Structure 1
């Protein structure tokens, strides 16, 4: 049986598609879907960069720059966001699939399909955050959909705020989706699946907090 990857059908009829993925002996359209998601991510991050989201460190030195110099800095910032989008795409699609492949007997390609759906959800989260950033001035870790706001009230330690800011209702949605997907495709016990998924997301949240901290330092050093 051949399964043709279609990210939209995965959203609209997940149960039937998971069953088809389980029975599939051959996967088609995996890279086509992956490249479509990469293009979508790059476009979204270009848009975010052009709107100036996350460019507060670039803007701090604006008064001392000529219009040309400022535009050059802004262009480099947008280019950096494009590169970040590509790295984000590669990390979300392939690293969790490899890690989960070590503890399950699910073929790697099928886990990549699952992560493509996860990535689509994360892009939806980015799109929802854009108006919050533009009109309310909220950073991603201060989104009302995350625990970052609560963490900010409890501590002033930026790393902790960033860590909890990475935990959102979209992340919880992703976790349930991954558990459901893995349960259908392997014989691992439900507690084992949950433990694997939770460990994976703890790693991702720590990594997201680290990258956010480093990203701020890089931007600050590059544009200062």
Structure 2
């Protein structure tokens, strides 16, 4: 009697097991590395976890129209040993420069909020799922608080803002070579803009424009 084809639920369960095993392997390599920067085994485990997550995410999207909350993305091609091309592994460490260069990467991306109430609801759910030990329990008072809550729950990455409740508009990435890193203790509350300002002695090296496929939906309203 021929074997019956696996159902979508069975395929999803099998793919999920691969993700779980990859996550365990990743944690094991992180633990073994003991904080070493540029550990090749950690990178290979990271790539394996990413690929397993991507496969699972694609499977449940095609079978059920659903997605994972961590939003995996394809990684660029890597060399045979794992890591980015030219990646520094355990056996090929590069000696640090006598005077290390400091680079500042400033990223601005704007978002349209179709429904403030919807955004606040999903932010409250994120707060419950990933509690902030420093949170005083005060209710979220606006979209700013909601976005900060989502960023906290997502580990500070902009990927945590890729949700239906936020429509991404254009963005801009600027890279500068600077004389020294930001001193957070010297950035006063209410004066955070100063941390993003660059003097003429710290010229822009380059910029990357992020063009949104959505444009600004308000532009259509202005023409009515």
TM-score (norm 2): 0.27
Structure number having the greater strand percentage: 2
TM-score (norm 1): 0.27
Which has the greater radius of gyration? 2
Structure number having the greater helix percentage: 1
